[in-house]
Amino acid sequence: MTVVLGIETSCDETGVGLVRDGVLLGDALSSSMAEHARFGGVVPEIAARAHVAAVVPCVNEALTRSGLSLNDVGAIAVTSGPGLATALHVGVAAAKAYAMTLGVPLYGVHHLAGHAAADTLEHGPLPAKSIVLIVSGGHTSLLLVNDLVLDPVVHLSDTLDDAAGEAFDKVARILGLSYPGGPAIDKVSRDGDPHAVKLPRPLTGPRDPKLGFSFSGLKTAVARHVEAEQKAGRELAVADIAASFQEAVADTLTRKAILACRLHDVSTLVVVGGVAANSRVRSLAAERCAAAGIELRVPPMRLCTDNGAMIAAVGDLLVRAEAKPASLSLATHPSIELTWAQLDRSVAEVLQNQ
């Protein structure tokens, strides 16, 4: 059995994880989130600088937690896209250097495939067919996943503009709440009425793309409401606005995720990404899945947000599928769509072992 070391540096988290045969052996995470807070969002250069300082210490910490040494590592997997270009370069450079020096194979992994694989570390292998809703600060995507590493992933939809998590951040700022916006809005919403402010459910009209997402207009609707209230001299009902916004996001996300399951005759929904931590997204997903007879899988929080373990999980699947490793000239792909879990491979190569 091969121990796979996974490295993730696509955004503001430096993550390293070790996985063998579907089992997480140990991981380490270093976040630069606090350094970005005053800018209201992730600053690529700040993130990249933090990765440089963190990547080697994270490798060693993950090994220590696993009770392993570098000599036990049999393969390296790394997020080679999509993500912030300058941040991706750090992880890819580290992965290549470790792979070359240790003389072990290297695999370039699609970040979103990592998110889809995260749940396997907690709840075991994915079924033959599943719908994966990835909802984070950088992504809002619905995927139809068959075999995660052997079959192409069908990208059902992406957000047309802001990711859901990004909308949480922006609305939090409008309401004077802290960054990151997700936890802040979740907290104040507990005291709010989710039906107090009438907000749109984006892309749910008859002529809209059935599975499409868009959150920019929803954010603007909140801003308009806030400005109108301020203009009228009324005190902002922050909890009510936050709760109404959160309800609109949770309603849209879960409605479309369930619809995707129905349209593709799939009975398992996997919800991953930072926004999966939102209590209303979780409770509404659970409620609607139960009503629709769909099994809902949500990994624990530490596996929902960006981490190295999920990348190691994909690497582990690739190793077990006897996929062909990448070369040491592996490139970064800052904006590549998810078709194959493994990047920098031709379709023919992926299929060679099927």
Partner 1 sequence: MLVLALDTSTPAVVVGIIDTDQESPLAERFVINPRGHGELLTPLIQEIVAEAGLTMSRLDAVVCGTGPGPFTSLRVGMVTGASIADALGKPVYPVCSLDAIGVAAAEVDDLLVITDARRKELYWARYHRGVRVAGPAVGKPEDVRVPGVVLAGHVASLYAEPWELPDRGIEYPTTATLVAAAGDALLTGAEPGEMVPLYLRKPDAVEPGARKSVIQA
The residues, ordered by sequence, that sit 6+ positions from 171 with a Cβ below 8 Å of its Cβ are: 181, 185, 219, 222, 242, 245
Nearer to partner 1, 160 or 331 (CB): 331
Q: Catalog residues that contact partner 1 under the rule CB under 8 A.
A: 38-40, 43, 45-46, 48-49, 51-52, 55-56, 59-60, 70, 85-86, 89-90, 92-94, 96-98, 100-103, 173-174, 220, 223-224, 227-228, 231, 327-332
Q: How far apart are CA 249 and CA 134, in angstroms?
A: 13
Nearer to partner 1, 59 or 281 (CB): 59
Are β-strands 13-20 and 3-8 bridged in parallel, bridged antiparallel, or unpaired?
Answer: antiparallel
Number of neighbouring beta carbons within 10 Å of residue 53: 13
Nearer to partner 1, 45 or 337 (CB): 45
**Smallest distance, Å, CB 220 to partner 1?**
5
Q: Is 2 exposed, middle or buried (0-12, 13-18, 19+ CB in 10 A)?
A: middle
Q: How far apart are CA 32 and CA 42, in angstroms?
A: 9
Sign for the CA dihedral angle at 27, 281, 155, 43 comes to negative
Nearer to partner 1, 21 or 227 (CB): 227
Element spanning 113, H or E = helix 111-118
> CA torsion, points 138, 139, 140, 142, in degrees to nearest 10?
-170
Nearer to partner 1, 39 or 337 (CB): 39
Q: Which two tokens mark 292?
A: 């629709």
Element spanning 262, H or E = helix 238-263
Q: Is 143 exposed, middle or buried (0-12, 13-18, 19+ CB in 10 A)?
A: buried
**Smallest distance, Å, CB 316 to partner 1?**
20
**Smallest distance, Å, CB 302 to partner 1?**
25
**Smallest distance, Å, CB 122 to partner 1?**
29
Q: How far apart are CA 10 and CA 14, in angstroms?
A: 8
Nearer to partner 1, 183 or 334 (CB): 334
Nearer to partner 1, 245 or 298 (CB): 245
**Smallest distance, Å, CB 354 to partner 1?**
29
**Smallest distance, Å, CB 90 to partner 1?**
5
Of 188, 171, 191, 169, nearest to 179 by C-alpha is: 169
Nearer to partner 1, 91 or 273 (CB): 91
**Smallest distance, Å, CB 240 to partner 1?**
19
**Smallest distance, Å, CB 100 to partner 1?**
5
The identity of residue 137, as a single letter, is G
Of 1, 7, 28, nearest to 330 by C-alpha is: 7
Give, as one character, the DSSP assignment of residue 161.
S
